């Protein structure tokens, strides 16, 4: 009950952020540690009470069209992957209120991850973005969201679910001013659920995190 109360409180105080980011921040202190996120599938059970759709057209800045004909660039054993590709498709979500889930809303989507994006699943990649801390240990950030837009951290357009990556970095980083970070590790591209909530479609186990002079709009 304490976890649910904390989540509701953070929801009210940070309404400028997009639903999955809020859920991740709220659930970060409540969820149990596991070796990997479990992917759940199948239809929702129970009676749907209400739907709340999101509007991707009103969201953030669009990148130029992606040229998928160009081969991936590999640097130090990592594919240079940009949010221009990761955010290049529509993936809208909506809330589903179900009687079987104690009245709590669940997130669902009718969209699919394109095969050319899903092909990066379990690949070693480097992605540049902005850090939004989720967990810290002894002053070091060990889990965070890597966002494509700096504004999604505190202000500006709301991030969509394919605008961020949830990153686990046990070594930890010392987070400071809002500068771009270059994050290298193994990425998972799939629907990720935590306590029944769809919280994202990208997750990464980071091996290296360094500051970058490059903006996240390109690989």
Span 43-70, pLDDT tens digits: 433 333 233 334 343 344 556 788 899 9
SS3 string of the chain?
A: CHHHHHHHHHHHHCCCCCHHHHHHHHHCCCCCCCCCCCCCCCCCCCCEEEEEECCHHHCCCCCCCCCCCCCCCEECCEEECCHHHHCCCCCCCEEEEEHHHCCCEEEECCCCCCHHHHCCCCEEEEEEEEEEEEEEECCEEEEEEEECCCHHHHCCCCCCCCCEEEEEEEEEECCCCCCCEEEEEEEEEEEEEECCEEEEEEEEEEEEEEECCCCCCCC
CA dist., res. 48 & res. 70, Å (int): 44
Residue 197 lies in a domain: yes
Two tokens, residue 46: 């129970």
Residue 216 lies in a domain: no
CA dist., res. 89 & res. 117, Å (int): 9
Residue 217 lies in a domain: no
Residue 47 lies in a domain: yes
- How many residues are recorded in the chain? 219
CA dist., res. 152 & res. 164, Å (int): 9
Can you give the residue range of the structural domain that contains 187?
A: 2-211
Confidence at residue 160, expressed as pLDDT on a 0 to 100 scale: 86
What average pLDDT does the chain have? Answer: 74
Instruction: Identify which has the larger pLDDT, 168 or 94.
Output: 168
Residue 138 lies in a domain: yes
Total count of domains within the chain: 1
Confidence at residue 34, expressed as pLDDT on a 0 to 100 scale: 38
Q: Using a cut of 0.85, tell me whether the model's pTM lies above it.
A: no
* C-beta of residue 194 within 8 angstroms of C-beta of residue 21: no
Report the CATH number at residue 100: 2.40.50.140
CA dist., res. 50 & res. 59, Å (int): 23
Mean pLDDT, residues 100-116:
82
Q: Which helix (H) or strand (E) holds 83?
A: helix 83-86
Residue 123 lies in a domain: yes
Per-residue pLDDT for 95 more than 90? no
pLDDT band at 205 (very low <50, low <70, confident <90, very high): very high
pLDDT band at 36 (very low <50, low <70, confident <90, very high): very low
Confidence at residue 178, expressed as pLDDT on a 0 to 100 scale: 81
Helix-, strand-, coil-residue percentages of the chain, each rounded to 5: 20, 35, 45
- CA count, 13 A, side-chain hemisphere, 134: 26
Residue 86 lies in a domain: yes
Residue 122 lies in a domain: yes
Span 70-86, pLDDT tens digits: 999 999 999 999 999 99
């Amino acid at each position: 009950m304490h976890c649910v109360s904390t989540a509701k409180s953070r929801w009210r105080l940070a309404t400028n952020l997009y639903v999955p980011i809020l859920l991740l921040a709220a659930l970060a202190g409540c969820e149990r540690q596991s070796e990997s996120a479990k992917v759940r599938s199948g239809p929702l059970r129970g009676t749907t009470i209400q739907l709340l759709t999101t509007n991707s057209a009103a969201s953030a800045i669009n990148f130029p069209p992606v040229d998928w004909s160009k081969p991936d660039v590999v640097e130090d054993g990592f594919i240079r992957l940009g949010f221009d590709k990761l955010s290049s498709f529509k993936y809208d979500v909506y809330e589903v209120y179900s009687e079987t889930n104690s009245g709590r809303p669940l997130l669902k989507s009718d969209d699919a991850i394109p095969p050319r994006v899903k092909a990066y699943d379990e690949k070693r990649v480097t992605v540049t973005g902005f850090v939004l801390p989720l967990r810290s240990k002894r002053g070091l950030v060990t889990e965070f969201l890597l966002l494509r837009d700096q504004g999604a951290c505190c202000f500006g357009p709301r991030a969509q679910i394919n605008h961020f990556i949830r990153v686990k970095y046990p070594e930890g980083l010392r987070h400071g001013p809002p500068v771009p970070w270059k994050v290298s590790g193994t990425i998972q591209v799939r629907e990720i659920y935590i306590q029944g909530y769809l919280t994202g479609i990208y997750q990464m186990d980071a091996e290296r995190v360094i500051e970058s002079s490059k903006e996240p709009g390109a690989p």
